[in-house]
Amino acid sequence: MSDYSDQFMAAVRAKNPAEPEFHQAVQEVVESVGLVLGKHPEYRKAKIMERIAEPERVIMFRVPWMDDQGETHVNRGFRIEMNSAIGPYKGGLRFHPSVNLGILKFLAFEQVFKNSLTTLPMGGGKGGTDFDPKGKSDDEVMRFCQSFMMELYRHIGPNTDVPAGDIGVGGREIGFLFGTYKKIRNEFTGVLTGKGLNWGGSLIRPEATGYGAVYFAAEMLATRGETLEGKTCLVSGSGNVAQYTVEKILDLGGKSVTLSDSGGYIYDPSGIDRDKLAYVMDLKNLRRGRIQEYAQKFSEATYTPVDPLSEENPLWNHKADCAFPSATQNEIRAKDAQNLLNNGVYVVSEGANMPTVPGGVDLFVQEGILYGPGKAANAGGVAVSGLEMSQNSMRYAWSREEVDKKLHGIMKSIHRACVEAAETYGSKGNYVNGANIAGFIKVADAMMDQGIFG
Ligand code: NDP
């Protein structure tokens, strides 16, 4: 690390104690941006990096709700409004018991650069709560969402801050949140994305993150004259991102052999075909069951429980060509990264946010594999959210083909921006530096233009 990034990170750690994921996300960006600051001393003078690492606003609130037995519970709600230099704050809501301020700050920080890369006018934000929707009835989830929105509505709006889904927040939760916002504000407006198709949602939004991560992998492979045809892929998670990753891998002629949830993973060497994927969608989205059931249904598959505290996850220890981590942060440890390389994996396209620990990222970069970091590879989701905002403003809906074509075009353009930025700043083939630098410059220039409040 340079003296600048050392000093910068010491200050970030002192100011934001006990937020390791936030430190990790900032450190990666500041190291890449170091390559830019030499050529652009004006950014350093204007303290752009210092300003970007400080949220514009953090909102923290109490969310009381009552369960089906009449017992009262209290959770904590958050919204991090990180940066609005290039557009309204935009980023998902995460409902998961692990949620805390540091995790949401890391996600909001990543979102700033990701949204910048999409080419669309969106600032960065993120929010959520430590409420666990698992095992709750639909009525309980609805009462929770209503209570959450009773506070959040004051801070968001179609031109201010437009939340979407993330872990634990899908179509059901967005529906309850939207209904509550509409009731309070007496206004039907595009304040959330990921809405239902018959009330303002965009076609392809549910598919967008997974499809986008696979399009990004295809672009990386194309730089070596290859395609996904015939490639074996390891996919983690079994939620929104994982499901549509598997679908697009099938479309492009590849074969996915794994899926997981927080209990463990399934390995299906014969491949997850369309019928099996339909089973997973029903299991996860409607029955809200566990991935273990897949191995009970399909005898060719095996299920292995995984200890989340273990240094390695056997999911990443199978022969394959590509890996699509699509569950959560830091799910690929350094040992897992080494196992992936040992098993022949040379394409990693991150559907999840920051799924690889820094030691793993270093290994991928050193080995020169095709490594697409989350803020580039999974930007398809927020890109289609941006398209949903445009459609809502126009009161118009594009066809499935139109949205998919735009998504594909955006992923190609993100890939190109990463490649070009990496080359310009002397780091050819390094998508980590490319994504951080391309994302940073657009936001930094907007902040410079807007003066000290930019
Ligand atoms: P879902 O809630 O639909 O699915 C999450 C999946 O990951 C589930 O299978 C879940 O298992 C598993 N998971 C979650 N937390 C953990 C954990 N701590 N350990 C092991 N497994 C875990 O979320 P999404 O698919 O929407 O999100 C997945 C990732 O993609 C996240 O990192 C998210 O930030 C990122 N992302 C999502 C976007 C979107 O559009 N939805 C956009 C860009 C990035 P279980 O059910 O057991 O909890």
Q: How far is residue 14's CA from residue 23's CA, in Å, rounded to a whole number?
A: 10
Residue 239 CB–ligand 1 contact under 6 Å: yes
Percent of the chain past pLDDT 90, that is, above it, reads 99
Å from CA of 70 to ligand 1 middle: 30
Strands 302-305 and 264-267: antiparallel
Residue 124 CB–ligand 1 contact under 6 Å: no
What single DSSP character describes residue 18?
T
Atom index in ligand 1 nearest the CA of residue 308 equals: 19
Residue 207 CB–ligand 1 contact under 6 Å: no
90 flagged as catalytic: no
Residue 241 CB–ligand 1 contact under 6 Å: yes
Q: 141 falls in which pLDDT band (50, 70, 90)?
A: very high
pLDDT tens digits along 371-429:
999 999 999 999 999 999 999 999 999 999 999 999 999 999 999 999 999 999 999 99
pLDDT tens digits along 197-231:
999 999 999 999 999 999 999 999 999 999 999 99
| CB 241 within 8 Å of CB 251 | no
Residue 114: per-residue pLDDT: 98
Mutation to probe ligand 1, out of 98, 328, 353, 354 (largest number of atoms < 8 A from CB)? 328
Secondary structure E strands in 369-409: 370-372
Residue 308 CB–ligand 1 contact under 6 Å: yes
φ, ψ of residue 430 to 5 degrees: the values are -95, 100
Q: How far is residue 83's CA from residue 147's CA, in Å, rounded to a whole number?
A: 26
Query: Residue 372 class from Cβ within 10 Å (0-12 exposed, 13-18 middle, 19+ buried)?
Result: buried
pLDDT tens digits along 433-453:
999 999 999 999 999 999 999
HSE (CB half, 13 Å, CA atoms) of 21? 21
Residue 180 CB–ligand 1 contact under 6 Å: no
Q: Which residue has the higher pLDDT, 1 or 132?
A: 132
Query: Residue 113 class from Cβ within 10 Å (0-12 exposed, 13-18 middle, 19+ buried)?
Result: buried
Residue whose entry in the numeric block shows the structure tokens 């220039």 = 445
Output the pTM of the full model. 0.98
Residue whose entry in the numeric block shows the structure tokens 């997974």 = 210
pLDDT tens digits along 275-298:
999 999 999 999 999 999 999 999
Nearest-Å Rg of the Cα atoms of the chain is 21
- Which of the residues 90, 126, 136, 231 is marked catalytic? 126
Residue 354 CB–ligand 1 contact under 6 Å: no
Atom index in ligand 1 nearest the CA of residue 329 equals: 32
Sheet holding 72-83, edge to edge: 57-66, 72-83, 124-129, 89-95, 161-164
Q: 3 falls in which pLDDT band (50, 70, 90)?
A: confident
Closest residue by Cα to atom 41, ligand 1, is 166
Mean pLDDT of all residues in 250-260: 98
Residue 2: per-residue pLDDT: 80
Percent of the chain past pLDDT 70, that is, above it, reads 100
Mean pLDDT of all residues in 361-372: 98
Residue whose entry in the numeric block shows the structure tokens 């089973």 = 279
Amino acid making up residue 389: M
**In the predicted model, what is the mean pLDDT of the chain?**
97
Closest residue by Cα to atom 2, ligand 1, is 167
Q: How far is residue 242's CA from residue 233's CA, in Å, rounded to a whole number?
A: 12
Domain spans, the chain? 2-187, 208-372
- The conformational region for residue 43 under phi > 0 = left, psi -120 to 50 = alpha, else beta, is alpha
| CB 5 within 8 Å of CB 30 | yes
Sheet holding 370-372, edge to edge: 255-256, 232-235, 322-324, 347-349, 370-372
Mean pLDDT of all residues in 87-91: 98
pLDDT tens digits along 258-273:
999 999 999 999 999 9
Residue 383 CB–ligand 1 contact under 6 Å: no
Cα separations in angstroms, 185 against 79, 148, 176, 212, 339: 19, 15, 14, 34, 52
Residue 1, pLDDT > 80, answer: no
3-class secondary-structure state, position 275: helix
| CB 236 within 8 Å of CB 331 | yes
| CB 235 within 8 Å of CB 446 | no
Which residues pair with residue 60 across a beta bridge? Answer: 78
CATH number of 208-372: 3.40.50.720
CATH class of 2-187: alpha beta
Q: Quick one: tokens of 263?
A: 């209990």
pLDDT tens digits along 155-209:
999 999 999 999 999 999 999 999 999 999 999 999 999 999 999 999 999 999 9
Closest residue by Cα to atom 23, ligand 1, is 167
HSE (CB half, 13 Å, CA atoms) of 437? 29
Atom index in ligand 1 nearest the CA of residue 170 equals: 3
